[in-house]
Amino acid sequence: MKPRVRVERHDLLIELGTEELPPKALSALEHSFAEGVRTRLGQAGLTFGAVESFATPRRLAVLVRRLPAQQPDQTVKRRGPPVTAAFDASGAATRAAAGFAHSNGVAVEALARERDSKGIEYLSFEGVRSGAPTVSLIPALVQQSLEALPIPKRMRWGAGEAQFVRPVHWLVMLFGREVVAGQVLGVPAGNLSYGHRFMAPAPLRISSPAQYAKTLQARGKVIAAFAERRERIRSQVEALAASLNGRAIVSDALLDEVTALVEWPVALAGHFDTRFLSLPREVLISTLQDHQRYFAVEDRDGTLLSSFITISNIESPDEPVVRAGNERVVRPRLSDAAFFWEQDRRQPLSARQAGLDAVTFQAQLGSQGARAGRIGRLAGIIAAATGADAAATARASQLAKCDLLTAMVGEFPELQGIMGRYYALADGESAVVADAIRDHYLPRGAGDALPASAVGDALAIADKLDTLAGIFAIGQKPSGTRDPFGLRRAAIGVLRIALEHALSLDLGELVHQAVNEQSPSIIQDRAPLIAKEMFDYITERLRAQYLERSAETGITTEMFDAVLAAQPRSLPDFDARLRAMVRFVASPEGVSLAAANKRIANILRKSDGGAAHIVSSELLLHEAERELHGALQNVRERALRAVDARLYAQGLEILSTLRPQIDTFFEKVLVNDADQALRNNRIALLAEVRTLFGHVADLSRLPG
């Protein structure tokens, strides 16, 4: 028995120390760096254990467990020059043959020969290349992983040429207890890290990769693991809020950002003047959360308290001073908000409507006033189709963009729509109108709420379709990951509202309406082309929405294309057909009928218009074609009634009873008969079959 060779393995630590990294990008940088290292180690043929990642404001780090000290030997297969070019007329090796042999470290006589699929003979080499020491691969591997990080804009620092998202100050690369020789981004590797900038500024020697996190925490006052630091912040905030007889408002986005701002989190409570509690809830939360990175606190009934929680990045010996500093910072922000609130209510929201004509929406698309008019007209069409209150829709359309001219939204742009609702209610507008002003921006992102009323639905869809139409008209549609106007979010918003609220809207017609509302000087004669591009873009978002959940729903891209070919008028109708397709494909008849429809489609495509003929019963000479024709007549009315009632699964179930007659037809009848009249009649019969199934979907697009 051959003895097992023991492979020497060690842990690998890579830590890059920098100036403070962008907080909102930190989590993505951490995971991308770890994935890059993992992928490149695998590409080098190295096996390893668990991979851990770390990220703080001043560092990115990766710890790889049990990495082998030597790359495994690799089998090398290379093809050289053709034999005809490798030897001259006398049989002597040419420079091409000698060069190929030299590059492989052997004599020409040691080279083998092989033939390709065309029979051409080549020189070839097959051998074993010894694996490189792992430490020799690490510097380049780290450099490549850093270069692949999702950094939109890199910077240089000092006199060097290295580029990164922030200046780099130190680099730790340890393999076991040994420093990996080399440099990355112009910084030589070592085993010295640095802890907290203020509480532990001295260098920290990392004795081994396994001791990295413990050393930083015990001696450096740094919690290196992002997830651990995040959970510590959450627990401190929740405990401190409970001590205030309240509960903290903790959003994932705020928690992630605060985690990315500190290395040693310490929660502190602060307070503000109770008079500010008269401000709208969203204003207070936006001031505390979005502008100060504080956690707001509410009581058990959801009423905000005059308290907040901040996360300090230092253990201060004098916490009251730190608390007072944070209270001093937030006070003028709340005072400004209170001033804007009072100033804005001195005139009604409607008084700002005329001013929208002076506010540019987009340089080529005109003013917000012009846009409000377009949205109003489109919303009116949608309201008529959905039964929304026409007067309320018109009024909400007039006021929807007016809060853009308020001082509050000027200072807190994230509150647009929200403040419009408050000001409309203060002016005595109806709750339906006020809510629609707020809701026409919904949904603002994935998982966000939808409008609360039919008026809000109409306004929100109109707003999003106008944005899509305008941006497509000026040729600024999204490309790759670039989507500066948020068109992907707008398209998904339209789809979610229509589907989740079951709105029977003709999306294609609304797209044409939205495009035709744009300025003629921009549209010119391109309206049909723009509308098609816009409709296709929305349709692709719809496809992605369904396929993201394909494992759960069973919907495939072939099913989607089959339904799309039937051109359903509304999204709920589209959805109902898709769900019927899932049931149909799973039925015993599904595969067979899909294959039959595919065969019929091919026949009709090659028939050069023969299918335009009407079936003549006198020309149905074969029993199989008579049976198919009779079966069609028997099921037609029942199937069409089910389709008209959008009972698509029932309709397909009825049509599935045609399977025996269709199978027998193809088994017994020659479609391409020499007699043209018979051939055309049979093609017309198949066209009837295809048309009847096509009332639900184009089954020829299904696999079968």
For the segment 52-78, what is each residue's pLDDT rounded down to a tens digit? Answer: 999 999 999 999 999 999 988 877 888
Does residue 476 come out as left (phi exceeding 0), alpha (psi in the -120 to 50 range) or beta?
Answer: alpha
Q: Per residue in 289-341, pLDDT tens? A: 999 999 999 999 999 999 999 999 999 888 999 999 999 999 999 999 999 99
DSSP 8-state class, residue 598: H
DSSP string, 153-189: S-B--TTS---BSS-EEEEEEEETTEEPP-EETTEE-
From 245-259, 260-274, 432-446, 615-629, the region with the lowest mean pLDDT: 615-629
pLDDT at 4: 52
Q: How confident is the model at residue 2 (pLDDT cuts 50, 70, 90)?
A: very low
pLDDT for residue 6: 67
506-525 pLDDT, tens per residue? 999 999 999 999 999 999 89
Q: What is the mean pLDDT of the chain?
A: 93
Share of the chain above pLDDT 70, in %: 98
Please report the pLDDT score of residue 588 as a whole number.
Answer: 86
**Three-state DSSP class for 402?**
helix
How high is the pLDDT of residue 608? 66
> Of 132, 215, 131, nearest to 172 (Cα)?
215
CA 693 to chain centre: 35
Residue range 685-700: mean pLDDT, rounded: 93
pLDDT at 29 over 90: yes
> What's the pLDDT band for 480 if we cut at 50, 70, 90?
confident
- 247-261, 413-427, 570-584, 663-677: lowest mean pLDDT where? 663-677
Length of the chain: 704
pLDDT number for residue 75: 79
E strand or H helix that includes residue 74: strand 74-82
pLDDT over threshold 60, residue 364: yes
Residue 303, SS3?
coil
* 493 confidence band (pLDDT: 50, 70, 90): very high
Whether 491 shows a pLDDT value over 80: the answer reads: yes
Q: Is the pLDDT of residue 637 over 90?
A: yes
Residue 124 in this model has a pLDDT that exceeds 80: yes
d(CA 624, CA 668): 7
Whole-number Å distance between alpha carbons of 421 and 406: 12
Mean pLDDT of 659-674: 92
- Alpha-helical regions (H) of 387-486: 390-399, 407-411, 418-426, 431-439, 454-473
**Per-residue pLDDT reduced to its tens digit, 573-615:** 999 999 999 999 999 888 889 989 999 988 888 876 545 578 8
- Whether 342 has a pLDDT exceeding 90, the answer reads yes
pLDDT in tens, 185-197: 999 999 999 999 9
Kindly report, residue by residue over 158-210, the tens digit of the pLDDT: 888 899 999 999 999 999 999 999 999 999 999 999 999 999 999 999 999 99
Query: Does 1 have pLDDT greater than 60?
Result: no
Does 443 or 317 have the greater pLDDT score?
Answer: 443
pLDDT of residue 442: 97
Residue 430 has pLDDT above 90, yes or no: yes
Q: Is residue 467 a contact partner of residue 514, using CB atoms and an 8 Å limit? A: no
pLDDT of res. 640 = 95
For residue 96, is pLDDT > 60?
A: yes
Determine the pLDDT at residue 73. 80
Lowest-confidence region among 115-129, 158-172, 538-552 = 115-129
Which backbone phi and psi does 105 adopt, to 5 degrees?
75, 30
Contacts of 543 (CB under 8 A, 6+ apart): 557, 560
| pLDDT given at position 89 | 87
